[in-house]
């Protein structure tokens, strides 16, 4: 099976499993999505969703988040990894959104990536899921599965993103990003599959015997 054929098969199977994937991070607007994605770095979405219940009850806008202050933000997110830096970033980006972007989350990559704590992946998620702009954010699940499915060499996250964008139509990127994440969590997990065990790995590589040696992002 050639690479493009594998990509087509992946798309078909994921559409069967997850026809309408929802965004796993709870949010109510563009700003809360941005904050939730920022908080999800090195944390599970489940834990982030637990923490943001209280945080977003108090602050769903840049103004209210800024008014909370860094210390209160930290107290509410302390359970998460890198909480000190995340609290600083959230407080500072709230201020910048108010002063520089008229209290609106910017909807272009350049301005989003200028905000503290917002890298390309975070910006891509916000652009895709908040503004509907085609993007292909690559997290650890996507980076892992792209290698197991022979869709990318996995040399870097940038390489994986570029490889996937070439294989799948732009109109499918935003949905496919979520579908691969769900599949990676439920079926082709980091420890539960090695490229030979889950149904999709077996379908794509029926004769594969040796585990896939992954390149980490």
Q: What is the pLDDT of residue 216?
A: 81
| Binned average pLDDT, 10 residues per bin, the chain of 217 residues | 96 98 96 97 93 96 98 96 96 98 97 97 96 94 96 93 97 97 96 96 96 87
Q: What is the pLDDT of residue 31?
A: 98
Q: Whole-angstrom Cα distance, residue 49 to residue 131? A: 21
Please say whether the structural domain 30-129 has been given the CATH code 3.40.50.150.
no
Q: Compute the Cα dihedral for 197, 203, 204, 207 and give only its sign.
A: positive
Q: How far is CA 61 from CA 49, 64, 67, 196, in A?
A: 17, 5, 10, 46
28, burial (CB in 10 Å: exposed 0-12, middle 13-18, buried 19+): exposed
Q: What is the pLDDT of residue 106?
A: 97
* Sheet strands (E) in the chain: none
Tell me the domain boundaries of the chain.
3-21+136-204, 30-129
Please say whether the structural domain 3-21+136-204 has been given the CATH code 1.10.1670.10.
yes
Q: What is the pLDDT of residue 164?
A: 98
Q: Whole-angstrom Cα distance, residue 217 to residue 214? A: 9
Decide: helix, strand or coil at residue 180.
helix
The beta-carbon contacts of 54-63 under 8 Å, at least 24 apart in sequence, are 56/26, 56/27, 56/28, 56/32, 60/28, 60/29, 60/31, 60/32, 61/29, 61/31, 61/103, 62/31, 62/93, 62/94, 62/95, 62/97, 62/98, 62/103, 63/94, 63/98, 63/103
Q: What is the pLDDT of residue 42?
A: 86
pTM for the structure as a whole: 0.91
Please enumerate in sequence order all residues whose Cβ is within 8 A of that of 144, keeping only pairs 6 or more positions apart, or say none: 184, 188, 190, 214
Q: Whole-angstrom Cα distance, residue 37 to residue 126? A: 8
Q: What is the pLDDT of residue 1?
A: 86
206, burial (CB in 10 Å: exposed 0-12, middle 13-18, buried 19+): exposed
Residue 92: Cβ within 10 Å count: 15
């Amino acid at each position: 099976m050639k690479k493009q054929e594998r990509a087509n098969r992946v798309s078909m199977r994921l559409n069967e499993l997850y026809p309408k994937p929802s965004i796993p991070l709870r949010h109510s607007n563009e700003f809360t999505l941005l904050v939730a994605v920022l908080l999800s770095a090195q944390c599970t979405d489940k834990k982030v969703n637990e923490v943001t219940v209280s945080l977003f009850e108090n602050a769903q806008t840049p103004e209210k988040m800024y008014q909370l202050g860094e210390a209160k933000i930290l107290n509410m997110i302390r359970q998460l990894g890198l909480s000190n830096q995340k609290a600083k970033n959230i407080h500072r980006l709230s201020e910048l959104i108010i002063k520089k972007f008229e209290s609106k989350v910017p909807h272009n990559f350049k301005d989003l990536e200028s905000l503290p704590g917002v890298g390309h992946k975070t910006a891509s998620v916000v652009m895709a899921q908040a503004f509907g702009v085609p993007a292909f954010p690559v997290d650890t699940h996507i980076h892992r599965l792209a290698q197991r499915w022979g869709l990318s060499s996995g040399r870097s996250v940038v390489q994986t993103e570029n490889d996937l964008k070439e294989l799948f139509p732009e109109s499918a990127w935003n949905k496919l990003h979520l579908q691969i994440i769900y599949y990676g969590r439920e079926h082709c997990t980091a420890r539960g599959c090695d490229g030979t065990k889950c149904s999709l790995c077996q379908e794509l590589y029926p004769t594969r015997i040796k585990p896939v040696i992954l390149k980490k992002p």
